[in-house]
A and B are shown apart, each in its own frame.
Chain A
Amino acid sequence: MKILVCIKQVPDMESRFKPSGDGLWFDETDLAWRMNEYDEYAVEQAVQLKEQLGNEPELTVLSIGPDRVVEAVKKALAMGADKAVHVQDPAAHQKDSWQIASIIAGYAKDKGFDLIFTGMQSQDRGSAQVGVLVAELLDIACATTLVGFSYSDGVVNVKRELEGGLKGLVTLQLPALVTCQLGLNVPRYPTLPNIMKAKKKEIEAIPVANLLSEQAVAPTAGFYPPARKGGGVVLEGDVADLAQKLVGILREKTTVVR
């Protein structure tokens, strides 16, 4: 079996974001980077499947972006992926979901992957399109927002998360692509021996120009902070004073504190 996991490196979401010079995305200065949370569930599920099948599947991890994304790739290798593909693209942040999906599909189309795992969305862009578009471009089965996954005898059974705690039960024939949601699994922390082992694993570098042939279909026109809701009060300072102030406000503005 051949498995592909697609990951993105994103800024830590605790960061303060400010627009970049062109006003179309964030300024990267002082940002800390990590693997997109949903992609961690994708890597973990792929590694669990590889373990279930006695280590037989070959697990490739792919990421698109500038050189810094190699850090996220190395984490996936330390978690248990066998090899990696780094699609080198310093301007990946300017590409829309359609272009990113086309690049991935361009790489995957003749490789015979049986299963492709992606996160359900990125934490920074949040478009929730790339995984499904890759499946459409490769014309393979696909299910989104997984909170349950099992595999046996060439068939994948998944639970899709719906609204209000309801789940949809779906069976997929291979080849298939699934997008992973919070709650699917608990991603492992790479152990030191595995981090060392990962250093010897192959990372193939491919210039994006070799894979990109599509124009943007939904380009960004602006990037800016949200308008603050009027009337919101911000309290800062000593904790005991704050508590007293807040109780005063609650007495005045609500009927639940007397």
Chain B
Amino acid sequence: MKALLVCDYREGKLLDTTYELIAFADKLGVAKAAVLVGSEAAVPQFDGTVYLAEASALGEYNPAAHKAAILAAAEKEQPDYIVFCHSSYGWDMAPRVAAGLKAGQVTEVTALVDGGFEVGCCNAKMRRSIKPATAKTVLTIQAGAFTAVQPAGSATVVKLDIPADSKGVSFSGYEPAEAKGVDLTKAEVIVSAGRGVGKKDNIPLIAELAKALGGELGASRPVVDSGWVEHSHQVGTTGQTVSPKLYVACGISGAIQHLAGMKKSDFVVAINKDKDAPIGEVADVLVVADVLQFVPALTAQLQK
């Protein structure tokens, strides 16, 4: 069995998540080759073949040409699995490659289970196992679910010559993230507000708890999108990835994108009305209570 690993590359660099793909292939126990639409300087370190198409010629986002490159590598390697990170790149590209190969796709694999792959569903409250019915399978793997290997080895580079046809899609560049007002990555304590806080007027309650614990205010994505808290406080895949000594999640259900940004915290307290909320999975303590009642009580207790 063999896996073709599709590297993540952006702004001229290989992304470290590529090494999670190698870890996943090792866990599957299959041979591996990789394909990179990038540059020679960004070829990942491992012992195997890397098919390289030049991003300078094709563009960093050019789905039709990237698909052609990945299919060309798949044609040469005849892999059983074509594996992407479940990143903005894999999200976009995997179904295109699956369609090209008429292959089944399993999205955001979190674990291997008896003859199949496990994924989250129902907002991460439940799990589903999937057994693909096609000879080739396209997979995307959840960020952080398979711990990256240390880069080691030297790859044999095989260059691919892919026409730069873009089929009506043209990429014009990146818009940078808003300047970070708060560096949450250095905070020892983070107290984050989620949708369960209810409205913007209730944010000060959460900020007071953060202050009482000597920490910073964090927030989940819906809270930031609603304009209750500014973006620099956002924790999760599209915000900051944090690992404080104490993380307190207030009214946060625990979408996978949020969990990926905070699950390496040393100690996690979740306050949620819903006992089944997925945040409970990563919580050391789950307090089943109304955030608006419990948080002021906790702040008062700490100030005693």
- In the assembled complex, how far is the CB of residue B138 from the closest CB belonging to chain A, in whole angstroms? 9
Whether A225 and B125, one on each chain, are in contact in the complex, defined by CB atoms closer than 8 angstroms, is yes
Which B residues form the contact surface with A (CB < 8 A)?
10, 61, 63, 87-88, 91-92, 94-96, 98-100, 102-108, 113, 115-116, 119-134, 137, 167-178, 188-189, 213-215, 221-222, 225, 231, 234, 237-240, 245-246, 253, 266-267, 269, 274-276, 278, 280-290, 293-294, 297-298, 300-302
A51 to B171, CA, bound (A): 27
A257 to B246, CA, bound (A): 9
Which of B92, B116, B176, B276 counts the most chain A CB atoms within 10 A? B92
Can you list 21 A-B pairs, Cβ within 8 angstroms, ordered by A? A13-B125, A98-B105, A124-B123, A125-B121, A126-B107, A128-B95, A129-B95, A129-B107, A133-B99, A142-B96, A162-B10, A168-B171, A170-B172, A220-B128, A223-B127, A226-B126, A235-B285, A236-B275, A243-B301, A250-B246, A256-B188
Kindly identify which residue among B133, B267, B288 contacts A218, using a CB–CB cutoff of 8 Å: B133
A167 to B253, CA, bound (A): 25
Give the nearest-CB partner of B103 in chain A.
A217
A168 to B231, CA, bound (A): 18
Kindly identify which residue among A126, A136, A163 contacts B88, using a CB–CB cutoff of 8 Å: A163
Known A136-B99, A233-B285; contact A127-B107, beta-carbon cutoff 8 A: yes
User: Which residues does chain B contribute within 8 Å of A235, judged by CB atoms?
Assistant: 285-289
- In the assembled complex, how far is the CB of residue A232 from the closest CB belonging to chain B, in whole angstroms? 6
Whether A14 and B274, one on each chain, are in contact in the complex, defined by CB atoms closer than 8 angstroms, is yes
User: Which residues does chain B contribute within 8 Å of A219, judged by CB atoms?
Assistant: 130-133
- In the assembled complex, how far is the CB of residue B162 from the closest CB belonging to chain A, in whole angstroms? 18
Whether A168 and B61, one on each chain, are in contact in the complex, defined by CB atoms closer than 8 angstroms, is yes
How extensive is the interface on chain A, given as a class? 35 or more
- In the assembled complex, how far is the CB of residue B233 from the closest CB belonging to chain A, in whole angstroms? 12
Chain B CB within 8 A of A206 CB: no
A172 to B294, CA, bound (A): 49
- In the assembled complex, how far is the CB of residue B108 from the closest CB belonging to chain A, in whole angstroms? 7
Which A residues form the contact surface with B (CB < 8 A)?
11, 13-14, 16-17, 26, 96-98, 120, 123-129, 132-133, 136-137, 140-145, 159-174, 176, 182-183, 215-226, 228-229, 231-236, 239-240, 242-244, 246-247, 249-250, 253-257
Whether B126 and A217, one on each chain, are in contact in the complex, defined by CB atoms closer than 8 angstroms, is no
